[in-house]
């Protein structure tokens, strides 16, 4: 029996929230090793401990975070396309199926992020304000590029080098979508880290993935790009 009226709306919202929270929690559990080392950085008492934690995070991100995030986007894709979802089974299957491509792309993107953040720190340390603002722009572009990497990986099943090239192209040729992803993601990250940190394990990753892939799918559908 289908609920109608206001109760039907509440029911649909509750289903949506349950899905978002469940898949995000699953994604967060897979990323727990990275989260632990991030927490260790906050508690680090000396530089050696900080360097060790940062090194382990850089190693773990391609091995753990990229495959888990690809699986997250694959589940969200299935959701956006209106297909039935068996959450745990689908997440694990997508994790295994896309692991190698996620790992290869993850190594490259993690190295780029690490280099960018290192030079960003150097610029901030030397108070080079003009170049600092340029780096803010480059970091924003890199963030959207990374998001598009996940969407393209799960939607087109191409070779890693082609996925990376297309992710860069999509970031540049569609500035409206790029700005949408930046605004929504930035707002979610700011609110979660500042006011609602307890919601991070339940909503932040899956919500960003949903909004980003929804915009991505809208864009590719309009261009008649089929999977």
Q: What is the pTM of this model?
A: 0.88
* Sign of torsion over alpha carbons 9, 198, 64, 138: positive
Q: From CA 89, how far away is CA 96, in angstroms rounded?
A: 11
Q: From CA 67, how far away is CA 71, in angstroms rounded?
A: 6
Q: What is the pLDDT of residues 69-117, one digit of tens each?
A: 999 999 999 988 888 888 889 999 999 999 999 999 999 999 999 988 8
- Phi, psi at residue 101, to the nearest 5°? -65, -40
Largest CA distance in the chain: 65
Q: What is the pLDDT of residues 107-117, one digit of tens each?
A: 999 999 998 88
Residue partners of 24: CB distance under 8 A and separation at least 6: 72, 201, 202, 203, 204, 205, 206, 207
Which segments of the chain have a pLDDT < 70?
1-9, 11, 44, 123-130, 196, 198-199, 201, 224-227
């Amino acid at each position: 029996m289908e609920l109608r009226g206001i109760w039907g709306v509440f029911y649909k919202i509750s289903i949506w929230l349950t899905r978002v929270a469940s898949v995000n929690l699953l994604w967060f559990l897979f990323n727990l090793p990275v989260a632990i080392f991030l927490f260790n950085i906050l508690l680090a008492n000396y530089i050696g401990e900080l360097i060790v934690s940062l090194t382990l995070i850089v190693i773990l991100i391609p091995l753990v975070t990229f495959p888990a995030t690809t699986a997250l986007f694959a589940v969200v894709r299935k959701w956006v396309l209106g297909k039935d979802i068996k959450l745990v089974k689908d997440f694990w299957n997508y994790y295994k199926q896309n692991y190698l491509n996620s790992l290869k792309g993850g190594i490259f993107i993690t190295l780029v992020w690490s280099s960018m953040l290192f030079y960003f720190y150097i610029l901030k340390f030397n108070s080079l304000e003009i170049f600092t603002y340029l780096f803010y722009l480059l970091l924003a572009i890199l963030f959207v590029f990374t998001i598009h990497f996940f969407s393209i990986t799960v939607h087109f099943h191409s070779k890693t080098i082609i996925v990376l090239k297309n992710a860069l192209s999509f970031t540049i040729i569609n500035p409206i979508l790029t700005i949408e992803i930046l605004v929504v993601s930035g707002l979610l990250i700011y609110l979660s880290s500042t006011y609602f940190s307890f919601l991070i394990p339940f909503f932040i990753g899956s919500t960003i993935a949903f909004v980003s892939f929804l915009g991505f799918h809208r864009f590719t559908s309009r261009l008649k790009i089929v999977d």
